[in-house]
């Protein structure tokens, strides 16, 4: 097992693993390790988080810009085939108002996330993004709007977009094909990540934990994929079912799996910015607290207009990481202090870029 007394050696042990030895380690933590040993794993993870980012937790203002989506992921509540989904999209003025609210609260990063909405063409996105950068030049701008072509990514980068989140979802093609319909392409998603890296975006990858048809081998592939891609951001949260999707009858499995994998990923990719996801907070606040204590260092409070929040429904009972009120931000800050963590409102760039 890992050398708990020497974090550098423990990391080296993980780095040397091939898929099969990593699968054995993951299985051990999932099924056999006792609480003491898992606690030691978390201590290793904390060591690396603190080494690069100390106890800082970066705030990102999340703006959910559209619930329209042309994709049809079997797990997602805003998939195009969900006829019961309420669809909305924010116009440019509303998006800028959300940024303005966030700016007043001290946010220095805005994350625009949405379904793959064909309304947001290259020209429209360039206009929105360059307006945000013009109005808030000191703030970082992150997009999470799915798979685009090379020129679209390139133009967005040239117009000031700093970061792009695009979870790889799974690094195993046969697994990808069980999570998505035939018209969606594993190779294209992987290629998008390659382009984002090539264009020097701070790039985010990641996957859902305990998604349908996932197993220890696919998870080992995911961790090796993340190690090799070396993304600046990694988003990992539990799969949560949505009642109007083909995966409605799959259950939430074991949230400790997410916490264990966050720790292993922190050790493998130690400088990554890792959020305590909304999905974790949705299951129970105690899990997002544990993620922050041990491995994560980002939270993304919601700046979206309150009247649309429930319509960005990716899974049942989706919660927000707080909202745009000063009171909420101050509550989150107090909670972090109670966990011996420190709220940080700077841009929170990747370690090597700070």
Write out the residues near ligand SAM by the rule CB under 6 A: 75-76, 113, 115-116, 144-146, 166-167, 169, 208, 237, 239-240, 242, 279, 314-315
Question: Between 108 and 242, whose beta carbon lies closer to ligand SAM?
Answer: 242
Question: Between 76 and 255, whose beta carbon lies closer to ligand SAM?
Answer: 76
To ligand SAM, the closest distance from the beta carbon of 2 in angstroms equals 28
To ligand SAM, the closest distance from the beta carbon of 59 in angstroms equals 19
Question: Between 240 and 292, whose beta carbon lies closer to ligand SAM?
Answer: 240
Question: Between 152 and 345, whose beta carbon lies closer to ligand SAM?
Answer: 152
Neighbour-count burial of 20, counting CB atoms closer than 10 A to its CB (0-12 exposed, 13-18 middle, 19+ buried): exposed
Alpha-carbon distance of 44 to 48, in angstroms, equals: 7
Are 23 and 272 spatial neighbours (Cβ–Cβ below 8 Å)? no
To ligand SAM, the closest distance from the beta carbon of 173 in angstroms equals 17
User: What does residue 125 show for φ and ψ, rounded to 5 degrees?
Assistant: -65, -40
To ligand SAM, the closest distance from the beta carbon of 78 in angstroms equals 6
Are 149 and 191 spatial neighbours (Cβ–Cβ below 8 Å)? no
Are 303 and 62 spatial neighbours (Cβ–Cβ below 8 Å)? yes
Question: Between 48 and 315, whose beta carbon lies closer to ligand SAM?
Answer: 315
To ligand SAM, the closest distance from the beta carbon of 216 in angstroms equals 19
Element (H, E) at 112: strand 109-114
Angle, to 10 degrees, between the axis of helix 150-158 and the axis of helix 122-135? 20
Beta strands in 173-270 (DSSP E): 202-209, 233-238
Question: Between 69 and 268, whose beta carbon lies closer to ligand SAM?
Answer: 69
Pull the structure tokens for residue 304.
């979206």
Alpha-carbon distance of 157 to 227, in angstroms, equals: 24
To ligand SAM, the closest distance from the beta carbon of 174 in angstroms equals 18
């Amino acid at each position: 097992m890992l050398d708990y007394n020497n974090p550098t050696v423990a990391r080296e042990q993980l780095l040397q693993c091939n898929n099969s030895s990593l699968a054995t380690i993951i299985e051990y933590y999932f099924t056999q390790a006792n609480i003491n040993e898992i606690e030691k794993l978390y201590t290793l993870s904390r060591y690396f988080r603190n080494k690069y980012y100390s106890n800082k937790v970066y705030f990102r203002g999340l703006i959910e810009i559209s619930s329209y989506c042309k994709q049809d992921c079997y797990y997602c509540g805003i998939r195009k085939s969900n006829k019961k989904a309420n669809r909305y999209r924010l116009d440019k003025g509303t998006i800028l108002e959300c940024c303005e609210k966030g700016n007043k609260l001290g946010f220095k990063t805005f994350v625009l996330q949405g379904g793959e909405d064909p309304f947001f063409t290259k020209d429209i996105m360039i206009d929105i993004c360059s307006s945000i950068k013009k109005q808030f030049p000191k703030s970082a701008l992150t997009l999470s709007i799915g798979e685009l072509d090379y020129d679209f990514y390139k133009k967005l980068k040239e117009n000031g977009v700093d970061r792009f989140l695009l979870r790889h979802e799974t690094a195993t093609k046969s697994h990808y094909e069980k999570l998505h319909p035939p018209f969606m392409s594993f190779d294209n998603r992987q290629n998008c990540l390659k382009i984002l890296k090539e264009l020097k975006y701070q790039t985010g990858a990641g996957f859902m934990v305990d998604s349908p048809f996932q197993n220890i081998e696919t998870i080992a592939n995911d961790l090796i994929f993340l190690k090799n891609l070396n993304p600046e951001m990694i988003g990992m949260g539990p799969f949560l079912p949505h009642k109007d999707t083909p995966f409605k009858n799959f259950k939430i499995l074991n949230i400790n799996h997410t916490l264990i994998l966050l720790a292993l990923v922190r050790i493998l990719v130690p400088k990554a910015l890792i959020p305590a996801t909304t999905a974790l907070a949705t299951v129970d606040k105690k899990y997002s607290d544990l993620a922050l204590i041990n491995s994560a260092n980002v939270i993304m409070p919601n700046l979206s207009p309150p009247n649309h929040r429930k319509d960005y429904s990716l899974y049942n009972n989706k919660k927000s990481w707080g909202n745009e009120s000063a009171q909420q931000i101050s509550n989150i800050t107090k909670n972090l202090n109670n966990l011996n963590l420190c709220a940080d409102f700077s841009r929170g760039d990747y370690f090597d870029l700070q």
